[in-house]
Structure 1
Amino acid sequence: MKKLFFVLTLFVNTMCFGQIYTQWGITNATKVASGNIGIGQDNPIAKLEVIGDISSNWINQRIGFDTKDNFTNATGTIANYGMSLTNNTAKQPIVSHSGYFGMEFLTLGKSRVKIDVDGNVGIGSTNPDEKLTVKGKIHAEEVIVDLAIPADYVFEKYYTGKSSLKSDYVMLTLAEIEQFAKENNHLPNVPSAQEIKDKGLQLGEMSNILLQKIEELTLYIIEQNKKIEALEAKVYQ
């Protein structure tokens, strides 16, 4: 009877207080009554707590918060999180989140990068209003901007009388440009100072406008040069 009581007591203590696996006097793994498992940890506070590095030769892991949504494909408006590390068809790590507030990355307690639910990315901004919103300076070796209608229509219209690129383009005379500048304090088709202040400077649009003005100036110079040459020819006749 005493032996039975001892075995029963040992069993109860083991189940209530957990199981500890040791090797050479060093705790390797611990399982406590709550069901938490610790590796290198005597008192795990999570379902699995590991003190040390984790190594896997075959990476095909998935971590999720419920059975419907995980990090591989979080959907819906409820905040679901997860992560998938895979080496099969995708061969890429995937991190996803679904919810009303998007995803945010912080360092030193401050927001550094924000991805909202629409896919807009903010760097230094928690409220991005475009696909990429940056609050601060950008250092780049090169910026490529796609243009729907390049400014070649200036020469095309001048020399052929029509333009397939921009059929409604009209090259103003110098007198018309002077009158417009007197009234508006800026060139035609160029955003005013107030517009730039309110809406910012659109790099692609402004680059194309400046190219248009350069081509127009080139044509004005060509016209003036022809007039000068004609006058010189009369003088030296």
Structure 2
Amino acid sequence: MGYIQFGPSWGGALLFGYGSKEHMRITKTGLIGIGTEKPEAFLNVVNSQVTNINVLKVDFSGGHVGITNESAAIFRLTSNSGFRPLMSLNGKVVVTADGKVGIGTTKPEEILTIASNSPNVIIKSNAEFGLNGL
């Protein structure tokens, strides 16, 4: 049987569980923990027993899912007009459904497209280079 517990003996947290196992809690500061008694973020999901777990599953035919504001998406998954998901980090890095990566462009033309008004591209490595290196 499921349960909901609340009270001062749990540090002011609201607990949700089934049987004797707690599954979710909301702390007095508003942090939500699923699979953890000590959430460290607004939503903290922990599952050490399953290697492949869907933390978020959304079924939709159009629209957007993600963290965004009206002027620029910080992180957005998009599925409209038959397109597969698009990841956009404030328009600076884009990964398209067909695996193309764009830096400085939202429409990469090749597997990696870097667009900039600067004539310089810098690739850094801390590795030592030799005859068999890069």
TM-score, normalising length from structure 2? 0.50
Aligned to 1:141: none
Q: Secondary structure at the match of 2:22?
A: strand
Structure 1 residue aligned with 2:81, among 66, 85, 89? Answer: 89
Identity, % of aligned pairs? 14
The answer as to whether partners of 1:98 and 1:117 remain within 8 angstroms in 2 is: no
Q: Cα 1:91–1:115, aligned 2, differ >3 Å: closer, same or farther?
A: closer
Counterpart of 2:30 in structure 1 is: 35
CA drift at 1:30: 0.8
Q: Which has the higher helix share?
A: 1
Give the one of 66, 81, 92 matched to 1:63: 66
**How many Å apart are 1:93 and its aligned residue?**
0.1
Cα separation, 1, equivalents of 2:68 and 2:9 = 30
1:17 is displaced (CA, Å) by 2.4
Indicate the SS of the match to 2:71: coil
Question: When you count strand as a share of all residues, which structure comes out higher?
Answer: 2
Q: 1: distance between equivalents of 2:69 and 2:9?
A: 31
- The one of the two structures with greater contact order (alpha-carbon pairs below 8 A, sep at least 6) is 2
Q: Residue 195 of structure 1 aligns with which residue? A: none
Contact 1:15 1:33 in 2 (8 A): no
Aligned residues: CA RMSD? 3.8
Shift of 1:15: 9.6
The answer to whether the 8 A contact 1:40-1:50 is kept is yes
Alpha-carbon displacement from aligned partner over 1:42-89 (angstroms, at most 9, x marks no partner): 11111112224226372465111434332xxxxxxxxxx212143x52
Equivalent of 2:103, from 116, 119, 123?
Answer: 116
1-structure distance, mates of 2:32, 2:23: 11
SS at match of 1:58: coil
C-alpha displacement at 1:16, in angstroms?
6.1
Select the residue among 10, 13, 19 that pairs with 2:14. Answer: 19
Larger radius of gyration: 1
TM-score by length of 1: 0.31
**Alpha carbons 2:65, 2:78 under 8 Å: kept:** yes
Alignment of 1:127 with 2:121, yes or no, is yes
Alignment CA distance shift 1:103-1:35 (3 Å): same
